[in-house]
Amino acid sequence: MGGSMTERNLPHNQVPLEQIAQSSETLDVSTLTPQEIMERGLEIERIEDIDPGLIDFEEGIVDYSHADKLNKSMKKKRGQLSPIVVRARVEVGQLRYDVADGFHRAWGAKAAEDPTIRANVMYGCDDEELQDIRILSVSSVKSVQYPRIARWMDQAFSQTKWASKMRVAQAFAITVNDSSRARGVDISEDELAELKDWVNKRCQAWGDKPVASAYQILRIVDMADPELVRQVRNSSGGKDRVAVITPERLKHVVETFPDAPNFEFQRIILDEVCARRLSATETKLFVMALKKSFKPWMSSEQLQELLPKIDITTLLEEQKESRITRPRHYPDFHQSQPSGTQSETAAQENARTTTRRSRRSSDFYNSPAISNQAPSSSTESTLRLAAERIEQLRQQVRNGEEELRKSQELLSEATWWRDSSIPLTGVERTVFEQVIFDRAPLSFVAEKLNIPTKEIGAHIASVIQKSRVKK
């Protein structure tokens, strides 16, 4: 990647003098120090041997074992075969470097206290361009893709004018749903269109990454303990039988126990999941069974006492039996929820398909291993109970819609439910945020939190009641 970033056809290490307001000749930048290049405002790249000690790193984006292996390989016969890519900047009068590509080689060199490392140094590279390059090159080491993408997407958004008004996950949700307005946020229609354009252009710059795919990562990160996000590692070979926090393990735990009030519970549960080396499917079954017996008033100690009582073998057997006894043409007992003003995107269709699939398994989830209840083997009995359940669910949906209607009058108070003095649970706050603020469909929120759709209305009613008590 030699030469100027603005004039790619120039010889390596040369840049037009017009950029520095001199004559029409060219300047050999190899004679300039890094400080002189930055003082002149040149946007160039050149190969240099730099001090690894001047490289700044962010926690949680390096697989340290892999970094050590690479450093050892760089000390063999052929040495460092390709340079790392860094951005040069000045901080408090001192030269510093930020890695754009080659984190593990850079970290290995710094940890080994090597005197130099070969680097392609970018000058005149701003933060937005740096984050774009980082995300585009993130596929180099799969194990740390998740925390890197999460960190850099958030950093890219933090540089925008909307960062003070909303979270990055909300910005992507607005774009995925093609929302016509951002509830509770003071933003004009023109700014909203500009926001969507920014999100779409960033995803294009990140290797045409689908907006919906990026949003799925960001919504989980938004609900998770930041320390857990930094520990996420993609499993190799398509298996997750390792004692690390994988994206799927994090997803199932965080969706069931979301947001800051549950951060300690997230850590405790994931410690147990990793210790047992549960697969993604087993983690989902484990968390759903746990939620069935967990009570909001439970302490961390009581949660830890509950975990060993969940038998994953029994859960898997119950799941298998429920599939065998389920009628081939099992009815879909839920009516789909209206999506309001949101458009029918591919991501939403996928979410609805997943929701319908999970609903048809709701009979299994309502009878976890720790309850000692066996699923019915009678098809006739199952269908009779299902018919009764249909009417119950329809009534619960009607009740939920009525609670939604009543809550509209409270919207004039904007984001009052975020007031820490109102004693809301993590689930209540998330439900109100997503349903009222983000205008997400009930089915989508229920799927996200792994709770029955019928509970959405109850949580909204609880929020409203607590706000009235506060007043």
pLDDT at 154 over 70: yes
Q: Which of 151-155, 256-260, 464-468 has the lowest mean pLDDT?
A: 464-468
Tell me what the mean pLDDT of segment 111-120 comes to. Answer: 91
- Residue pair 353/442 in contact (Cβ under 8 Å)? The answer is no
Name the nearest CA neighbour of 466 among 434, 419, 433, 405: 419
- Residue pair 290/270 in contact (Cβ under 8 Å)? The answer is no
Within 10 angstroms of residue 80's Cβ, the number of other Cβ atoms is: 21
- Between 57 and 361, residue with greater pLDDT: 57
pLDDT at 386 over 50: yes
| Spatial separation of the C-alpha atoms in residues 343 and 322, rounded to whole Å | 35
pLDDT at 375: 44
Pairing of strands 55-56, 84-91: unpaired
Q: Which of 221-235, 296-310, 456-470 has the lowest mean pLDDT?
A: 456-470
Confidence of residue 448 (pLDDT cuts 50, 70, 90): confident
pLDDT at 230: 83
| Spatial separation of the C-alpha atoms in residues 403 and 462, rounded to whole Å | 10
Q: Which of 29-38, 83-92, 369-378 has the lowest mean pLDDT?
A: 369-378
| Spatial separation of the C-alpha atoms in residues 170 and 222, rounded to whole Å | 9
pLDDT at 362 over 70: no
Q: Which of 179-183, 298-302, 336-340, 381-385 has the lowest mean pLDDT?
A: 336-340
pLDDT at 255 over 60: yes
- Residue pair 246/235 in contact (Cβ under 8 Å)? The answer is yes
| Spatial separation of the C-alpha atoms in residues 394 and 384, rounded to whole Å | 16
Tell me what the mean pLDDT of segment 431-450 comes to. Answer: 75
Confidence of residue 418 (pLDDT cuts 50, 70, 90): low
Tell me what the mean pLDDT of segment 430-441 comes to. Answer: 73
Half-sphere exposure of 99 (CA within 13 A, CB side): 28
pLDDT at 73: 77
Q: Taking the complete model, does pTM exceed 0.75, yes or no?
A: no
| Spatial separation of the C-alpha atoms in residues 167 and 170, rounded to whole Å | 5
| Spatial separation of the C-alpha atoms in residues 283 and 20, rounded to whole Å | 59
pLDDT at 159: 87
pLDDT at 121: 95
Helix (H/G/I), strand (E/B), else coil: 56: strand
- Residue pair 240/142 in contact (Cβ under 8 Å)? The answer is no
Tell me what the mean pLDDT of segment 76-86 comes to. Answer: 83
Chosen CATH of 3-125 out of 3.40.50.2300, 3.40.50.1000, 3.40.50.300, 3.90.1530.10: 3.90.1530.10
- Residue pair 225/267 in contact (Cβ under 8 Å)? The answer is yes
Q: Which of 95-104, 319-328, 369-378 has the lowest mean pLDDT?
A: 369-378
Q: What is the pLDDT of residues 229-254, one digit of tens each?
A: 888 887 654 444 678 888 899 999 99
190: tokens are 């023109």
Q: What is the pLDDT of residues 187-209, one digit of tens each?
A: 888 999 999 999 999 888 877 77
Within 10 angstroms of residue 40's Cβ, the number of other Cβ atoms is: 18
Phi and psi angles of residue 85, each rounded to the nearest 5 degrees, phi first: -120, 125
- Residue pair 315/396 in contact (Cβ under 8 Å)? The answer is no
Q: Boundaries of CATH 3.90.1530.10 in the chain?
A: 3-125
What sign results for the dihedral spanned by CA atoms 358, 361, 364, 369?
A: negative
Portion of the chain with pLDDT greater than 90, in percent: 26
Q: Which of 41-50, 125-134, 305-314 has the lowest mean pLDDT?
A: 125-134
Tell me what the mean pLDDT of segment 384-409 comes to. Answer: 64
Name the nearest CA neighbour of 451 among 255, 219, 217: 255
Residue 221 is which amino acid? V
Chosen CATH of 395-470 out of 3.30.70, 1.10.10, 3.40.50, 1.20.120: 1.10.10
Dihedral-angle region of residue 92 (phi above 0 means left; psi in -120 to 50 means alpha; beta otherwise):
left
- Residue pair 288/369 in contact (Cβ under 8 Å)? The answer is no
Which range has the top average pLDDT, 107-121, 136-150, 312-326? 107-121
Query: What single DSSP character describes residue 88?
Result: E
Q: Boundaries of CATH 1.10.10 in the chain?
A: 395-470
211: tokens are 């907006």
